[in-house]
Structure formats: C-alpha cells, structure tokens
Chains A and B, each alone.
Chain A
C-alpha cells in the first residue's frame, strides 16, 4: 500500500480571498484604518514604522499596473520588507507549478503573500501550501476584494455614507471579478445594486446575489453611483458572440454625457477603454472619481495589510489610530 506523506499542519490564518471573508464590522474597521492612514499621505515623510520587520511578497501572474504598484507602495509606506515577483522571468517560465512557486517563496517566512492570478481559485490553492496570510489581488473572474474596499472608501468619502446608496454597475458583468466583489461588498454595507448590460454578459443566476437586472441603459438614471466596467476582451471566448460588435455595444450601453447627470458619481476600476464603455469626457468630468479610486487604493491596501497582521481581538481601529498618532514621533 502506498504511504502518503502528510502535509505539515498549517496554522489557522486570516486571509482576504473574497469579500465573503468579511463581515460588516470588518469592513468598517478597515475603512476607518484607511482613513487614519490618509493623514500620513499628507506628511513630508510618508512612512510609518507599523510593519517594520514584516515581509510582504507580491506575486503577480497576470498583468497589473495599479494593483501591483499600490500593494508594493502600501507595504513600503508601512516599513515592511517587500518584494514583487512577476510570472514572466521567474521559474514559472521553466514550468514550475504554482504550488512549488509558493513553497519556494514560503521558505523565506513571509507574513503576507499578495497574489494576482488569471485562474479562479489560485489564492484558495496557495492557502493550502503556505503559513502566510494570503491576500487575493484578483483571481480570474472571481474576486478582487481590495478593489471593492477602495471603491467603498471612495464612495463613502464622496457621498458620506454607504447605507441606502443606489449603485448601478454597467457593462461586462460576466467577466468581471470587480463586479462580483462589489456586489457582495455593497450589499454587505446596505447599498442597493442594479446591474445593466447586454443579456449575454449578465450571468444567469446573478439575481440570487440580491441585485436587480436591467438591459436598458436608461435604468442608470436613478443611481447615486454609475460604476462602469471594462469590456474584457482578453477573457472572452473566441467566437462566443457576446455582442455583435464593440460599436453596437457602445451605442447601446456606452456611458456618455447624455446618459449621466453631473450629480451622479462615475467610477471605473481601470484600465479604461476610452470611447468603448465610457466616453472620454465622462471619464475626465468633475463627477468622475477614477483618479481618486487609485489614491484610495494605497491607503486601503495599507489598512488591509495592517489589519491582517494585527490581532483581531485588539481593536484594530484604535490600535491603528494609535500607531498613526505615534508614528510621526517615532520616525522623527
């Protein structure tokens, strides 16, 4: 009979793989921690010693500009040791499996591994092979929880609340991890969500996540926030004919200045396809929060790293604020 080597027992760790891992109090705490870090950004020395001696490894198996840069900068601003690995140019090119890459990196005893991967379930897989906290920085069409947290942060900062907000998510919901995370996050915080797009790009069964569905762009008129999704051509199956053409998509569902009012907030997770899902003047208008979202990404990801590495029982918010309050003196 075959004798199997049993994997070593891994300690139970808090991970952030999905918005479903969080409850409302967790989200409140993280958003308030992020707000606390905001003041650090206004200082001359934009760095606090909070995570000195900790190690954060970013592993990006899929192209990313804003997520990878903001995680790296977030770790640095918290004084953690950090390194970022991209799939190309690594052992992955030599055929190394994800499991083996993670076992290798885990030999350095990182406190946090941040992973972006094109395939759903990659972050869940690595939790079975590392003792580090795992943060999902986007896995295929599944989840992108830190994007949702920064979006909540941006909405709350602009509108003062989340409870009772009406948010319209427009476009390619089928291929969007951001849509899935945001639906869960917004529902968790008491907002209502409408999804709008071509029928083939609205997944069957999405109503069971508690959203309403419309295929008419006029339905966004009642929303406080119009959240525009990118047409994800790279994830679409060849020949699937989700829409007849991008031209027809833009004509029917493109977010143009005729379709949004100045009192509605416009958001987009980026990168944007100007002139496809969003008109250039809408992206650049005063009610657009696209650049604010990027800035929010930095403080939110600092808050997530801090939150995972602080004891859940110690009152994260107070602790975080205390850290921020004393940080200036320590650095000075």
Chain B
C-alpha cells in the first residue's frame, strides 16, 4: 500500500534538491565581496521609507476566509469523487448519492451568490 507512494517520495526529494542546489552552487561559485552600500536595503533605488511590515487591508482577510470556506468544500468533494463510480453502479443509492452532493453544492452556491452580490469578491 505505502509502496504506491514511493514515486511521490522520490519526486519530493528531487524537488527539494532542485530548489536547494542552485542556492548552494551560487554560494560556492559566485564572487562574494560585500560592502555597506551593497548590503543596505533600498526600495526602487531609494532609501527605504518604512518597515516592510505594514498594515494589510482587511479585504485580504475576507478573500482568504472565503477561500478557506470553498477549500473546505473541496475537502468534502474529494471522497465523493473517489466513490462516484461506485455510487453510479449501485442501484439503490444512484440518485440519492448524486442529489445529496447537488444539495450540498446548491447551499454553497447560495453563499457564493451572496458574497458576489455583496461585492465581497471585487476589489474596488
């Protein structure tokens, strides 16, 4: 069972290596002669005006929360998708299994329409 995940594991390892290797090579090979001007932070060629950490607009938060809620919906869809074939093949729950997901999504579509009409999805 777990052996099925071996390709994934190898993939992750290679992915990590691919990300780390250029940095390491850069550190080893590139010339490294820092001075105070090179190391000072700047913003578009000017001195930095303020701290990088500043207040974000609350709208980012609203978008993120709506994203989480629909992400959770996906988490419910996943097991349904894996047994969808079985649902279709089983006579007794054929329509039931289809309809229940339809109801589930319909309820969330109400939320989607609500968020849209309230202007929660547009930026300005």
Q: Do A and B bind each other?
A: no
Binding site for B on A (CB under 8 A): none
